[in-house]
Structure formats: structure tokens, C-alpha cells
């Protein structure tokens, strides 16, 4: 009998979750860092929308400098892939059910990239979207069930 092939969960990270880690924002850092660690160790496949990368650059360079921004984004892109934000994604966002356009673009990028979940701290902003939104701690708990951490 052939074994069932399971794929890793795919998750799109909202910009707030990534900023929590890159800026060590408390009290959110721990949960968001655990999520990125799950992506880094291959327990799930992490994504960020293309426009998240440009937003992160802007904020990191503004409050630090461009060398700092370049370094943090290079580190991030070793852990996650970039979900496209193209004409199709923008058109989906324009007709999406979410009130905020940027949130709608995040959701459309997640949908187009076949993400299973969108992880954010702003759950209410994503309610009613086609992909479930979870808080970082909720997603890490889910990953722990389907892809337990290796025992050292």
C-alpha cells in the first residue's frame, strides 16, 4: 500500500508579523519568531507578499539605514518566498470582500500563491476572506500538531 504524501502547510505572513521579528517588538516578538523559525526549519512553507518586502524596506531604512534594511531583508528571503503581486492579484483585491485595500492585496496574494493560512495580528481585518487568518501563536500550535519539532 502506498503512503499518502502530505505537503507542508503554506502560510502568508502579514507585514505586522515580520516587523515583530525584525524590530523585536514586544510583546509580540516571541510568537512571531516561533512562526519564522517553523518556516526556517522547513516545518511549513512561508511566504510574504511582494509589496510587504517594499514596505519593510521603507520602514527599516527610515528607522535604521539602508544597509540595515538590506541585511534584514536578505536574511528574511533565506527563510520565506515572495508571493507575486501582479495585475491578477490587484484585480482580485479590487473585488475582494475585505474593507482595507492593502489587506485585500495580502489576501489575494495568499490565495494566488495557494497559501493555506494568512498569519496576522489583525485577525478582524481579514475575517470573511477566502483563506483563514490565524494569529502567530495559533499557527505555531497547528504546525506543532502536523509537523512536530524535532527532539534534540
In this structure, is residue 75 part of a structural domain? yes
Structure confidence by residue, pLDDT tens digits, 24-58:
999 999 999 999 999 999 999 999 999 999 999 99
In this structure, is residue 151 part of a structural domain? no
In this structure, is residue 4 part of a structural domain? no
In this structure, is residue 15 part of a structural domain? yes
pLDDT above 70 covers a percentage of the chain that reads 93
In this structure, is residue 22 part of a structural domain? yes
Total count of domains within the chain: 1
Statement: residue 5 has pLDDT above 50: no
Alpha carbons 9 and 141: distance in angstroms, whole number: 13
Q: Is 44 left (phi over 0), alpha (psi -120 to 50) or beta?
A: beta
Domain span at residue 16? 10-143
Alpha carbons 22 and 100: distance in angstroms, whole number: 24
Q: Is the pTM of this model over 0.85?
A: yes
3-state SS track over 27-62: CCHHHHHHHHHHHHCCCCEEEEEHHHHHHHHHHHHH
Structure confidence by residue, pLDDT tens digits, 51-83:
999 999 999 999 999 999 999 999 999 999 999
CB 95 within 8 A of CB 115: no
In this structure, is residue 5 part of a structural domain? no
Task: Please tell me the predicted confidence (pLDDT) of residue 9.
Answer: 96
Alpha carbons 129 and 22: distance in angstroms, whole number: 27
Give the residue among 106, 81, 114, 111 at the shortest CA–CA distance from 9. 114
In this structure, is residue 115 part of a structural domain? yes
Domain of residue 42, CATH code: 3.40.50.1010
Read off the pLDDT of each residue in 97-118 and give the average, rounded to a whole number: 96
**Given the C-alpha cell 527532539, which residue does it identify?**
151
Give the residue among 63, 55, 58, 65 at the shortest CA–CA distance from 85. 55
In this structure, is residue 108 part of a structural domain? yes
Amino acid at each position: 500500500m502506498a503512503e499518502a504524501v502530505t505537503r507542508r502547510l503554506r502560510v502568508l505572513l502579514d507585514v505586522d508579523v515580520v516587523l515583530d521579528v525584525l524590530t523585536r517588538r514586544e510583546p509580540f516578538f516571541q510568537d512571531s519568531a516561533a512562526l519564522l523559525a517553523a518556516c526556517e526549519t522547513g516545518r511549513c512553507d512561508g511566504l510574504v507578499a511582494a509589496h510587504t518586502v517594499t514596505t519593510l524596506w521603507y520602514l527599516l531604512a527610515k528607522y535604521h539605514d539602508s544597509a540595515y534594511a538590506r541585511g534584514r531583508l536578505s536574511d528574511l528571503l533565506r527563510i520565506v518566498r515572495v508571493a507575486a503581486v501582479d495585475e491578477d492579484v490587484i484585480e482580485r483585491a479590487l473585488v475582494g470582500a475585505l474593507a482595507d485595500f492593502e489587506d485585500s492585496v495580502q489576501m489575494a496574494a495568499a490565495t494566488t500563491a495557494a497559501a493555506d493560512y494568512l498569519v496576522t495580528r489583525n485577525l478582524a481585518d481579514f475575517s470573511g476572506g477566502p483563506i483563514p487568518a490565524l494569529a502567530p501563536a495559533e499557527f505555531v500550535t497547528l504546525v506543532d500538531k502536523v509537523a512536530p519539532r524535532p527532539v534534540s
